[in-house]
Chain A
Amino acid sequence: MGNYYFKLAWLSFKKTPLLSLLMVGTISVGIAAAMITITVGYMMGKNPLPDKSERVAMVHLNSWDPSQPISYRKNGEPDIPNMLTYQDAMALLAADKADKHVPFVSFNTSVRAEADDVTSAQTHNIRSTSRHFFSVFGAPFIYGSTWSAEADQQGQSVIVLSKRENDRLFDGANSVGENIILGTQLYRVVGVIDDWQPTPKFYVNAFDMYTPTLPYFVPLESQIRNNFFSPTTMGWYCWGDDASSTLQEVMSSECVWIRFWVEFESEQSKQAYFQFMEDYTEEQRKVGRFLRPEPNRLMTVTEFLEEEGAVSEENKLGIVYALAFLFACLCNVMSLMMTKFHGKGGEVGLRRAVGATKQHIAVQFGCESILVGFLGGVIGLALAQLGLAALTDMYPEYHANVMTMNLTLMVSTVALAIGTSLLFGLWPIYRATRTQLSSQLKSL
């Protein structure tokens, strides 16, 4: 019977092509607008580590100038740094109280394969971190693996690179064991990670969350041994009058420049870790550090995203506007359906006379609404893809992931179109079932 009704719906659709296309067009434009904003909002607000977002947390220690806070939050309260000093980061690493530790910074230097000519060197941003970076943040390897614990401790010159860089430097071959020259230092490749873009890129600040992941990774200790220091790209904050013009000076200063994440095997350990942070802070107060009153923070991925405002207010407002536009489109579709179904009064009268119940009529027109919604949804999906592609071009600073629909969103697009078209069809359908019956029908 379903087949029968969809056949009728299709015939009816073809019978008034202009009206039908107008309905489909109106729905598809509304759906496209809604889904473009929803996609951006949804992808920005997605949980990037769904299976362990509550077990991975960022350490914020309130080591800052007692005379004034580092900044103020939106609500006017004083904020605390979300990066650590070198000495605190090293102290936390040495205490080893979490299951995995990921301190990280970045530096700029020239990069080339050992075999390549010096003139082929390109300047890149290098992520300087611990061996756990990949497993904690979920970066998958295609060749090799992360470096060893010894490499972290001894600062061995080993490197992990992205698939894209591996394609560029080594034509996509398994490059484990090959050498890369960073600045003037020889680094040995230990692993290559696949294309990887957590969306949002939760482990950095909000303004960086939708930018591409960095292409090279080395042990933090190796940066220090090899003295890579690029003050302009480091993103650091200092106070007081400590000298900070060399890496060594920065390391012994009160400047904050190291982000620090930890992973726990169970959520319960989080509480204990926070207590450890408090104890550490208390200890440091004895030597005159940590004199500000605001509490430390141990923020899970979701808490950090929330605090950073990963989804901006403008985004949320955009979704509201787009939904309002969709609503207006649907109201138009409703009136078009009214016209359409009214024009079929003769057929309704006939079908009712020969035995169709009101439910039969409702199902028939319901299928017509579904068909219109489905076509509107499919075309709307195509329009939304075009719109997202245009946005990707317009905002190159956002990674394309943010402007890309996943399967869930695609299915939702069509489902939303069908659902709303059925919903806004209810009134026209109800009216159609109320057609006055008579043996003297107007012509079909």
Chain B
Amino acid sequence: MLKMRGVAKSFITDTVKTQALHPFDLEIQQGEFVAVVGPSGSGKTTFLNIAGLLEEHTEGQYFLDEKETTGLSDKFKSSLRNQKIGFIFQSFNLIPELNLFDNVEMPLRYRDFSAKERSERVLNALEQVGLAGRKSHYPQQLSGGQQQRVAIARALAGSPSFLLADEPTGNLDSKMAEGIMSLLKDINKQGTSILMVTHDMDQAQQASRIVEIRDGYLNEQKVAKTA
């Protein structure tokens, strides 16, 4: 589903070149739950940005569902992001002036769905995260955990091939974090692949695979116990 060959990323700023990611190969199959771990500043976000087509890699090839993504136009990449990828952010990033329904519907607006289909998808997604009854509420009326659930519903509404999550529980207390983890595992069981950056080794252990990034080098790690 996701295949990277010799992908690397360097930033050039003020004549200083930072090799954020050294060349690596990686393949992720449909249905996998991959945790990305590593110390701060090691390149995890950079890796996720490349996987999510938010940033262009500087070397190598990246295939998404067999399709080479290198050098695609902004328009094309936007539509790939819209249809194949669901993003979940550390700080939820719900739009405060929109209610839950409108927040979840937002990505669907950039796609040719009828109003009816959009509405069905939004309600399904909210159902899936257990917030169907609160579609008219506004984000600030919810707890952090609930907000992250809405964000997950937003990521799911377009039926993506995989979810990208950059420390999705980083802003939550441990109890809420657990709830989110089990929701993500449920979603994964239903067939959506997940690529998740985390600091928490316990969470990482619940994934089916762990990739560690250290100083820009990417390595597979053994999963201690299968979930």
CB pair A444 B93 closer than 8 Å: yes
User: B52: which A residues are within 8 A, CB to CB?
Assistant: 353, 439
Is B134 an interface residue, CB under 8 A from the partner? no
Stretch at the interface among B14-22, B106-114, B184-192: B106-114
Taking beta carbons and an 8 Å cutoff, which residues of B are in contact with A? Answer: 45, 48-49, 52, 54-55, 74-75, 78-79, 81-83, 87, 89-91, 93-98, 106-107, 109-111, 154, 158, 164, 166
What's the Cα separation between A441 and B49 when bound, in Å?
11
User: B93: which A residues are within 8 A, CB to CB?
Assistant: 346, 350, 441, 443-444
CB distance from A319 to the nearest CB of B (A): 41
CB pair B95 A352 closer than 8 Å: no
Beyond A352-B78, A440-B89, A443-B93: 11 further Cβ-contacts under 8 Å? A353-B54, A355-B82, A355-B83, A357-B74, A358-B74, A438-B49, A439-B48, A439-B54, A441-B93, A444-B95, A444-B96
Which chain A residue has the least Cβ–Cβ distance from B86? Answer: A354
Which chain B residue has the least Cβ–Cβ distance from A358? Answer: B74
CB pair B95 A355 closer than 8 Å: no
CB pair A356 B110 closer than 8 Å: yes
What's the Cα separation between A359 and B79 when bound, in Å?
12
CB distance from B180 to the nearest CB of A (A): 16
Identify A438's interface contact among B45, B74, B79, CB under 8 A: B45
What's the Cα separation between A352 and B77 when bound, in Å?
10
CB pair A11 B110 closer than 8 Å: no
Is A437 an interface residue, CB under 8 A from the partner? yes
Which chain B residue has the least Cβ–Cβ distance from A353? Answer: B87
Identify B110's interface contact among A12, A346, A360, A442, CB under 8 A: A360
User: A1: which B residues are within 8 A, CB to CB?
Assistant: 109
CB pair A353 B81 closer than 8 Å: yes
CB pair B74 A439 closer than 8 Å: no
User: B89: which A residues are within 8 A, CB to CB?
Assistant: 350, 439-441
What's the Cα separation between A12 and B93 when bound, in Å?
16
User: A360: which B residues are within 8 A, CB to CB?
Assistant: 78, 110
User: B74: which A residues are within 8 A, CB to CB?
Assistant: 357-358
What's the Cα separation between A358 and B69 when bound, in Å?
18
CB pair B91 A357 closer than 8 Å: no
What's the Cα separation between A358 and B110 when bound, in Å?
12
Is A347 an interface residue, CB under 8 A from the partner? yes
What's the Cα separation between A1 and B112 when bound, in Å?
11
What's the Cα separation between A4 and B113 when bound, in Å?
14
Which chain A residue has the least Cβ–Cβ distance from B105? Answer: A4
CB pair A438 B54 closer than 8 Å: yes
Q: By CB atoms of chain A within 10 A, which of B45, B82, B93, B164 has the most?
A: B93
User: A439: which B residues are within 8 A, CB to CB?
Assistant: 45, 48-49, 52, 54, 87, 89, 164, 166
Closest 6 CB pairs of A and B: A355-B82, A354-B107, A437-B54, A355-B110, A357-B78, A439-B166
Is A97 an interface residue, CB under 8 A from the partner? no
Is A431 an interface residue, CB under 8 A from the partner? no
Which chain B residue has the least Cβ–Cβ distance from A14? Answer: B97
Interface string of A18-30 (1 = CB under 8 A from B): 0000000000000
User: For residues 317 through 358 of chain A, which have their beta carbon under 8 Å from a beta carbon of chain B?
Assistant: 346-347, 350-358
Is A168 an interface residue, CB under 8 A from the partner? no
Q: 26 A-B contacts, Cβ less than 8 Å apart?
A: A11-B97, A12-B97, A14-B97, A15-B96, A350-B89, A354-B154, A355-B79, A355-B81, A355-B83, A357-B78, A357-B79, A358-B74, A360-B78, A438-B45, A438-B49, A438-B54, A439-B45, A439-B49, A439-B54, A439-B164, A440-B45, A440-B89, A442-B91, A443-B91, A444-B91, A444-B95
Which chain A residue has the least Cβ–Cβ distance from B84? Answer: A355
Identify B87's interface contact among A4, A354, A442, A444, CB under 8 A: A354
User: B110: which A residues are within 8 A, CB to CB?
Assistant: 351, 354-357, 360
Which chain B residue has the least Cβ–Cβ distance from A351? Answer: B106
What's the Cα separation between A68 and B197 when bound, in Å?
98
CB pair B78 A356 closer than 8 Å: yes
What's the Cα separation between A1 and B154 when bound, in Å?
19
What's the Cα separation between A11 and B98 when bound, in Å?
8
Which chain B residue has the least Cβ–Cβ distance from A443? Answer: B91
CB distance from B162 to the nearest CB of A (A): 13
CB distance from A289 to the nearest CB of B (A): 82
